[in-house]
Copies of this chain bind each other. A is one copy, B any other.
Amino acid sequence: MKTEKIYYGAAYYDEYMPCDRIREDMRMLREAGMNVIRIAESTWATMEPHDGVFDFTHLNRMLDASAAEGIDVIIGTPTYAIPAWMAARYPDILAVTRAGKEIYGRRQNMDITSPDYLRHAERMIRHMLSHIQGVKHVIGFQLDNETKAYDTRGPRVQVMFADYLKEQFHGDLDALNDHFGFHYWSNYVGSWEDLPDVTGTINGSFDAEFRKFQRKLAADFLKWQAAIVEEYRRPDQFVTQNFDFDWRGCSYGLQPDIDQRSAAEALTVAGVDIYHKSAAELDGASISMGGAIGRSLKKSNYLVLETEAQGNPGWLPYSGQLRLQAYSHLACGSNSVMYWHWHSIHNAIETYWKGVLSHNLKRGAVYEEVCRIGSEFTLIGDKLKNLQKENRAAFLLSHEALTGLSEFPVSPSLQYNEVFRWLYDALYRMNIETDIIYEKDLLLPGLTESYDTIFVPALYSVRAETIPALRQFTERGGQLVATFKSFFSDEYLKVFHDDQPHGLTDVFGMTYDRFTIPTREIMTFHDPAFTDPAIHADVPVSVQEWMELLEPAGAETLASYETAHWGECAAITRNRFGKGTAVYIGCYFDEEILEKLLSSLMAARGFDTETLHFPLIRKCGRNDAGNRITYLFNYSDAPISYHHRGTDAHALLTDRTVTDGTELVLAPWDVVILESADA
């Protein structure tokens, strides 16, 4: 969604405050250059303290105080955290999960399919939306919060799942038994009544289908909320959700528990919550990855609805980092930077997830940096909003493949998102910007044509229609780069019983039927085209975690295993197919070596892989005026020198002209933004 300005603000909770500060806070927000707060999400009990009794005192206070300072408001439905009275009076609302019956206390513990829950949620939403109808500075709505199905799997959900399967298989039990391979270990289901609870299954197909069903429940829930909101919203008000990511102590990869691409259909704009390591460990990769997913959901600009100010212990940003992060979000196509949250909380589990203000609620060092960002946004924000990316490479991601690799793992340390990030981060460090697409996007007219290269990390489970789409992409001249564990099983995780990689042996010019876990295996590179001596000079490379024994049939061997234990076989192959090229990476290895491999592959396709490298990160796009915006980020403690090349450009932050050959020195954690008219 395009916006009129960069939204800059924070989540605000009047009800959490240890004292009445709302006027002071709104003034401080405005003085910091902020223009929006996000409220009400998570505070159901504030607005409905007793069953059916509504109280909008705090909501009113926030609406009034923000209006007084000219600050816009995004209102969240409060449905992700149920009140104590609800758990006490309707205990069935608490979900039954793999871990057993949920107990009251934390958020996101309810069964989102519970009729009692849905009835209460709808009443709450309708009361709140009625209450704020006509409030002009409410600019949009957030549905729920980081929604998933929270592993709900009680008896009623099992019945819903059986109904879903009946529909999926048109009532044909034999088809279900065959697709899932239920004959194995006597799991055959002879009548629908005998279908067991999925919880005990050892059948990865059955379990994966249930997880797909749970992702659908989460997306359906958001669509249901969106339909209610639609009855109330003005055309100028947007509807969003704050999608989050697979979590490894920070936002890491594709979220396994909701089909965000499908859920986003109900929204007018996608929102994301991005949290990342900071201080010595800040590298911007998670911001970039999260932004790529943000853009992918509506194929448009997105909103950063939550990101850290001071964040968790260990994330206290160095001076300058907060500003670097803010521009990094914009450089990915975000139209907002919103902190979670304004003030640090004085009780409960997120006491140490610190906000813009520390617990003393005073203007500290972090607030001062927030003010600097705000004043810059005020000056140049209009040139930065609605950035259009023009990436020539994309990743093909898939929830089914993610689930597949979780059902049949390579190793705990090498899951789907790890394979994705292995490739993604290497390209990030090389300053090759990438988009993200999903299997169903392959059918969008013109989409694959816009890319030179498609990366396919571990597409373990693959839809039937994906095979011809990738074949065609390659045949027409594209470069297809797939890793091990791709194209191995169908969408029900049944392993294909023909040659691997299924349906693409001619495209890749190779096949294989053996694989193992390397112990001390090594491989060497052979392609003389590899310019980097590190991989050219037959230096042995250690193979880790997984190796497939590729047998070329037409493909050239880029690297092969250095052992006669299993006969001669390749590790990495490249094949000409039609006008294009198909590369298959049959094993996992060190990320520096991967970078060199990808550098060779991309250089051969005309990408610039030599000029810039992390910690200097460049991100580009086109602004509303049709000009090229080039961000340069220094993600390090040391100054970096950069020589501008090409058309004259305007350095927006320093307001000076930069010509061909100009040296720009980026201070530690600094940013340069260039606007130029080049095509």
Q: Mind listing 9 A-B residue pairs with CB under 8 Å?
A: A13-B183, A45-B190, A83-B188, A84-B190, A105-B199, A107-B185, A181-B346, A346-B495, A364-B514
Contact A15 B183 (CB under 8 A): yes
Residues of B within 8 A of A16 (CB): 181, 183-184
How many identical subunits does the complex contain? 3
Contact A194 B351 (CB under 8 A): no
Cβ of A195 < 8 Å from any Cβ of B?
Answer: yes
Given A352-B408, A365-B566, the answer on whether A188 and B516 have CB atoms closer than 8 Å is no
CA distance A105 to B43 in the complex (A): 41
Contact B497 A346 (CB under 8 A): yes
Contact A185 B42 (CB under 8 A): yes
Cβ of A168 < 8 Å from any Cβ of B?
Answer: no
- Nearest chain-B residue to A492 (Cβ)? B347
Query: Which stretch, A354-362, A379-387, A475-483, touches the partner chain B?
Result: A354-362
For the complex formed, measure the closest distance between the CB of A96 and the CB atoms of chain B, giving whole angstroms.
13
Residues of B within 8 A of A580 (CB): none
Query: Which stretch, A200-208, A244-252, A287-295, touches the partner chain B?
Result: A200-208
Please give the residue numbers on chain A whose beta carbons come within 8 Å of chain B beta carbons, in ascending order: 13, 15-16, 18-19, 42-46, 49-50, 78, 81-85, 87-89, 102-107, 109, 178, 180-191, 193-197, 199-205, 279-281, 310, 313-316, 318-319, 344-352, 358-362, 364-366, 408, 493-500, 513-517, 519-520, 546, 564-567
Contact A183 B351 (CB under 8 A): no
For the complex formed, measure the closest distance between the CB of A79 and the CB atoms of chain B, giving whole angstroms.
10
CA distance A313 to B411 in the complex (A): 10
Q: A203 touches which one: B19, B347, B361 (CB < 8 A)? A: B347
Q: A359 touches which one: B106, B318, B366, B513 (CB < 8 A)? A: B513
Residues of B within 8 A of A346 (CB): 181, 494-497
Residues of B within 8 A of A50 (CB): 190-191
Residues of B within 8 A of A193 (CB): 88
Contact A345 B184 (CB under 8 A): yes
Residues of B within 8 A of A202 (CB): 105-107, 348-349
Q: A88 touches which one: B194, B203, B546 (CB < 8 A)? A: B194
Q: A84-B187, A181-B347 are in contact. List 13 more A-B contacts (CB 8 A).
A: A13-B183, A16-B181, A42-B185, A45-B183, A78-B186, A84-B186, A104-B197, A104-B200, A279-B565, A313-B516, A319-B564, A352-B408, A358-B514
CA distance A515 to B43 in the complex (A): 28
For the complex formed, measure the closest distance between the CB of A552 and the CB atoms of chain B, giving whole angstroms.
15
A-B pairs with lowest CB-CB distance, top 7? A181-B347, A105-B200, A103-B200, A314-B517, A316-B516, A45-B188, A358-B513
CA distance A205 to B183 in the complex (A): 43
Contact A310 B46 (CB under 8 A): no
Q: A84 touches which one: B195, B348, B408, B494 (CB < 8 A)? A: B195
For the complex formed, measure the closest distance between the CB of A38 and the CB atoms of chain B, giving whole angstroms.
16
CA distance A388 to B513 in the complex (A): 40
For the complex formed, measure the closest distance between the CB of A283 and the CB atoms of chain B, giving whole angstroms.
14
CA distance A319 to B365 in the complex (A): 61
Residues of B within 8 A of A364 (CB): 513-514
Residues of B within 8 A of A15 (CB): 183
CA distance A349 to B50 in the complex (A): 49
Given A196-B105, A516-B313, the answer on whether A186 and B45 have CB atoms closer than 8 Å is yes
Contact A495 B49 (CB under 8 A): no
CA distance A183 to B58 in the complex (A): 11
Contact B105 A186 (CB under 8 A): no
- Nearest chain-B residue to A313 (Cβ)? B517
CA distance A188 to B16 in the complex (A): 11
CA distance A84 to B196 in the complex (A): 7
Q: A348 touches which one: B104, B107, B204, B566 (CB < 8 A)? A: B204
Contact B515 A316 (CB under 8 A): yes
Contact A516 B315 (CB under 8 A): yes
Residues of B within 8 A of A103 (CB): 196-197, 199-200
CA distance A431 to B615 in the complex (A): 52
Residues of B within 8 A of A45 (CB): 183, 186-188, 190
Contact A85 B347 (CB under 8 A): no
Residues of B within 8 A of A350 (CB): 184
Given A494-B18, A494-B346, A519-B279, the answer on whether A105 and B201 have CB atoms closer than 8 Å is yes
Contact B85 A519 (CB under 8 A): no
CA distance A520 to B279 in the complex (A): 11
**Residue picked from A178, A202, A205, most chain B C-beta under 10 Å:** A202
Contact A310 B514 (CB under 8 A): yes
Residues of B within 8 A of A310 (CB): 514
Given A279-B516, A497-B361, the answer on whether A316 and B566 have CB atoms closer than 8 Å is yes
